[in-house]
Structures are given as structure tokens and as C-alpha cells.
Chain A
């Protein structure tokens, strides 16, 4: 059994919502705009407001080979965790992309154009090592992962201000080979995105429209935000994919902690919009035995054995049984219920993956 994949972003107004609750015991087929119907006054929705930055950059090695660098996550010290892929473009599945040429610490990667517009006209190509400083944008490799030669720590050799300028000039959003068309930067943002912490879109929030937010607000459903650095979904390297999700950082504002406390006190539900929100909240709770405002990081893996301490429900995408995503939902509902839901989803033509339909899983 397998679900159909959304090959172009689902129209927000046509988005389906599969609802999985204790009662009724059968899955329910709804549209995403029906969401207020399944929540009560005082329930709290928590959104991951991370914006998606243009994480994919074309680069060249010192030997002149073309590579793609995906900036997975920014470290506290300003360096980046990066996935490096060999030649090829987004139409080739990540797992089919060739590995990059062998790279090691102190190797330098070159970004941006060889040619100015004048040189383009005259056909001149200036070698990377001879580029004037103003046109040099380079990163040096600090370390290569022991699990995979595609995964490394690199550092751009400029100020933070200049680094962001270049990333926004040269970068493109990470693309998905199963989509028909290339995604622009604005098509990978949620309605409410803010800080650029996400290398891939926190896609559970994609179907929210202003109309829906206002409908929810009118019903007395509360909102809060946190920022979670969602990492990449696939690295194309099995050994490395097994390590996913990697440690991810998050930021929880004081206002959000307050709102959760209030909802809990009043016996209301705390519903995470996206599994990244679940990871941030439950990861924070696991780290401290309570929720703490501010920065944190987590490598928490959710499964049937996870005891959820903060979150009572999750809104998420539709994913196949074979995926880790499915196992993660077992923290919210028994396996049989999820399998039944998956069959139901197939029957009703639900589309899966980042740009497909949604599910709401409520524990209570």
C-alpha cells in the first residue's frame, strides 16, 4: 500500500485533514479549514515560526569540481553543519546524487560567480584562486563527519552580516525531486515565518491561511510560537539518514511557557503544529524536567515508548508507514489506529509528503 505524493504544493483551500482521535475510534475525513471544529475554546496551538532560508548553494572545490552545498544548521559559534552533494541538480533524487569529491579539513569551497558581466561578454573565466577579494566568497571545511563524507562543518570567511548577504544572494531553497516545478523562496514560507532557522520548510504549518487563523481566534483558540531549527529530511546517505534527526536547536519565548502553563491549568489541550514543535517542547522538558524559556537543543526521537509530558496533540503531514514519521506519531496514537488511518487516507485520495495533505492526531 502506498499513498500518492503531492507533486505540486496542495492548494491551501483544498487541503484535506485526516482526524485521528480516541473517540470516535474511526478516522474522520475533513478539510483543513474545519480545524476549529476539532478544537475547543482555550486550546492552545503552538507554531514553529522558523523561516526557511535559501539553504542550497552551488559551489566549487579547489580542484574546480561542481558541488551543491546544503546548509543544514547554523552552529552557536557561527559555523555551519552542511551536506555536500556531487554534481547534478534537484531533479535527481538526493539518494541518487553522486558523493562529492573527497574533501577534508582546511579544504576551501568557492561560491558565487567566476565571471563579472564584462568577463561573461568576453568569455573570460577567472580561476577561483585569482578572484579579487570583493568577489571571493569562500568557506573552509573544519571537520568531516565520521559517519559520512557528505556531512561536514564549514565556516564562511566573512562577517555574519556579509555571510547572510551572500547566502540570500546566491542561495536557493532546497528542492524536492518529486515536485514538478522548482520552488521559489516565498513558496517555502509559512504565513507566519520569521527567523531563518529552517533549512527545509516546517511544512505542517503550510496550510494555515489568515482566514483560518481568524476563525480559530474567534473561537477562543489561543496561539503561541517557538522557533525550531528543522533540519533536512534526507541526506542521500543511509548511514547518515539513520542518525536523523540530528541535534536541533530551538528557542522558546517566555510568553509561550506562560500560555502552556495556563492551558494545562485549565485542562485545555496543547496542540503542536508540526513534529518540530513536539521535539522542541518534549526535548526541552526531557532536558530540564520542566519547560524553560530561551535557547536549547534536542536530539529527542519520538516513538511509541515516548511519554509525552507537554503536548496533547499534533498537526502533521501525511506520510507512509515505512517512514520514521509514522513511528513518531505512535507517541500520540496506537499503531493499529494509525494503520487504519493510513488505509483510510489512501481510500480518500490523500496526498503525502511536505506539500500534501494533513492529519490531526489528538490524545484526548
Chain B
């Protein structure tokens, strides 16, 4: 898929992986709606990303708290108003750890779990619901849910976050199974450990040198998004193990001589 002129909404876009994705997708010529809670920071990011780009490439920030039901349609409809076109790709990237430092489940408030599920599971689900119906009629579209290895592994103290990510991975598979006849595609992606604020909040004593740069991870993830049709619909991709498909192996490309 050529990402040029594609209309993409990214949540959690003012820092970390979301910011990296915004930069990489802007470089591909995509039109972007960047979403985050903090308005001032988001506007600075959007402004910086617009610098030096053609005026017909739309890059806008919309501040919204996706854990709030009332915010969802206001966000999605405002996004299409600004883009003057339907959305082609949704990247559910925003998520929260809940209260840090992380605690054992027995020490975690249920309200804390609830709040993590609102932001990491219900919010992305509502966004998907608000966006995917139009994709069904147009028979195209891609939803990317950012996952974590915590969705698979049972790391002590990561309960709320892990449960939200595991549930989201499973919803991704079910969305894909239910909408199989419509050509709308779903992927969940484990981007691996990155040097982000979120990681520092969760593991304050980690050595930043041992962690991947979110900008680099974003570049690879954008490759994956451009090649999403090569992945099984609804599958969970571990980005570090994913290989950029060899162009020569593409049936449409001329064969390369040995």
C-alpha cells in the first residue's frame, strides 16, 4: 500500500512511538490527524511536522481523551472535517500503565484497573467502531493496534496493562474474523521495548542504552503498515522478528538476476 495521500489517525502522537510514527508517516506523504490529551504539546508537534511540507498535505492535532465516550465521535468527525476525506488507517497507539510505580495485583486498586481498561481497551475499541463502518462500505482500510510482549508474558506488577493489551490483541483477531468478507484489515503489533517515557515510568532503573529508539522502531513499523496485506488478517506481529519483504520476491516486480 502506498502511504502517500493516505488519511491516518494516530493516538498518543505527541511522544514516544506515536511521535516517531507521525514523523515517519509524514515523510511518506500521508495526511495525519495526531491525537493526544495535552493540547499545547500536540500543537507544537503538529506545527513542527508541517514545516517544509506541501500545503496540500494535511497535518493536524486534535486534543482528546479517548477514554471518554463523549470524546470519540467529536474526535472522529472533526478529523474527517479537517482532512475532507474518510480515514484510511487508524493507529491505536495511546496507552497508559495506570498508577506508577506498578504494583502487585493484590495491591492494585480495581478503579486503577478500570481506568487502564478505559484508555487501553474501551477507548481504542470505540474509535475502531466509529471509523470501521465506513471502511466496510469502501472495502478498504487498516486498523493497527499497538500491543506489547506483556500481552503474552506474565510479568509481576504489569497486571492491568497486560490484561488490557491481551484483550486488545484478541479483539483484533475477532474483528478480523467478523469482517473477513469486507477487506478491512486488522493487525496488532508488538513494537518491543523502547526508550520512552512510558518505559522509564514502568522500569525506572532500566539502562536506556539497552532499549530501542522509538524513531527507529517507527520506521520499521511504517514498513509493516505499507505491507500490511502480506500479513494474515488479525494477526499479532512481533516487530523485531518481522522482516521487510524482499522487493524481488514481489510477483509484480521484475525478477532480479542472480
Interface residue ranges, A against B (CB under 8 Å): 47, 49, 51, 53-54, 160-161, 164-165, 168-169, 184-186, 189-196, 210, 213-214, 217-218, 223-225, 255
Q: How distant is A107 from chain B, measured CB to nearest CB, in Å? A: 26
Q: In the complex, A194→B76 CA distance in Å? A: 8
Give the 4 A-B CB pairs with smallest separation, nearest first: A192-B133, A191-B133, A194-B86, A194-B134
Contacts of B133 in A (CB 8 A): 190-193, 210
Q: In the complex, A202→B80 CA distance in Å? A: 17
Contacts of B130 in A (CB 8 A): 186, 189
Q: How distant is A268 from chain B, measured CB to nearest CB, in Å? A: 17
Q: In the complex, A288→B95 CA distance in Å? A: 51
The interface-forming segment of B18-26, B159-167, B175-183, B221-229 is B175-183
Q: A53-B77, A195-B80, A195-B86 are in contact. Are A214 and B182 (CB under 8 A)?
A: yes
Q: Which residue of B lies closest to A164 (CB)?
A: B81
Q: How distant is A273 from chain B, measured CB to nearest CB, in Å? A: 10
Q: Tell me if B77 and A51 are in contact (CB < 8 A).
A: yes
Q: Does B243 contact A (CB under 8 A)?
A: no
Q: A51-B80, A168-B77, A184-B70 are in contact. Are A192 and B137 (CB under 8 A)?
A: yes
Contacts of B137 in A (CB 8 A): 47, 49, 192, 213, 223-225
Q: Does B138 contact A (CB under 8 A)?
A: yes
Q: Tell me if B178 and A196 are in contact (CB < 8 A).
A: no
Q: Tell me if B86 and A164 are in contact (CB < 8 A).
A: no
Contacts of A54 in B (CB 8 A): 74
Q: In the complex, A53→B136 CA distance in Å? A: 21
Say which residue of B74, B82, B178 sits within 8 Å of A161 (CB atoms): B82
Q: How distant is B73 from chain A, measured CB to nearest CB, in Å? A: 5
Q: In the complex, A228→B80 CA distance in Å? A: 15
Q: Which residue of B lies closest to A255 (CB)?
A: B138
Q: Tell me if B181 and A196 are in contact (CB < 8 A).
A: no
What are 17 pairs between A and B in contact, CB < 8 Å? A47-B137, A51-B73, A54-B74, A185-B73, A186-B73, A189-B73, A191-B136, A192-B133, A193-B134, A195-B84, A195-B85, A196-B77, A196-B78, A210-B178, A214-B178, A214-B179, A218-B181
Q: Does B94 contact A (CB under 8 A)?
A: no
Q: Tell me if A225 and B179 are in contact (CB < 8 A).
A: no
Q: In the complex, A51→B138 CA distance in Å? A: 15
Q: A185-B74, A217-B182 are in contact. Are A196 and B134 (CB under 8 A)?
A: no
Q: In the complex, A188→B80 CA distance in Å? A: 16
A164-B81, A190-B133, A191-B133 given; 5 more Cβ-contact pairs under 8 Å? A165-B62, A168-B74, A189-B130, A213-B182, A223-B136
Q: In the complex, A54→B138 CA distance in Å? A: 25
Contacts of B84 in A (CB 8 A): 195
Contacts of A210 in B (CB 8 A): 133, 136, 178-179
Q: In the complex, A218→B178 CA distance in Å? A: 12
User: Which residues from 18 to 71 on chain B have a C-beta closer than 8 Å to any C-beta of chain A?
Assistant: 60, 62, 69-70
Q: Which residue of A lies closest to B86 (CB)?
A: A194
Q: In the complex, A165→B181 CA distance in Å? A: 36
Q: Does B72 contact A (CB under 8 A)?
A: yes
Q: How distant is A192 from chain B, measured CB to nearest CB, in Å? A: 4
Q: How distant is A214 from chain B, measured CB to nearest CB, in Å? A: 6
Contacts of A184 in B (CB 8 A): 70
Q: How distant is B160 from chain A, measured CB to nearest CB, in Å? A: 27
Say which residue of A53, A161, A225 sits within 8 Å of B60 (CB atoms): A161
Q: Does B4 contact A (CB under 8 A)?
A: no
Q: How distant is B22 from chain A, measured CB to nearest CB, in Å? A: 17
Q: In the complex, A160→B58 CA distance in Å? A: 13
Say which residue of A196, A218, A224 sits within 8 Å of B81 (CB atoms): A196
Q: Tell me if A223 and B134 are in contact (CB < 8 A).
A: no
Q: In the complex, A160→B82 CA distance in Å? A: 8
Q: How distant is B28 from chain A, measured CB to nearest CB, in Å? A: 22
Contacts of B76 in A (CB 8 A): 51
Q: In the complex, A200→B46 CA distance in Å? A: 32
Q: Does B232 contact A (CB under 8 A)?
A: no
Q: In the complex, A164→B182 CA distance in Å? A: 31
Contacts of B80 in A (CB 8 A): 51, 194-196
User: Which residues from 127 to 176 on chain B have a C-beta closer than 8 Å to any C-beta of chain A?
Assistant: 130, 133-134, 136-139
Q: How distant is B69 from chain A, measured CB to nearest CB, in Å? A: 8
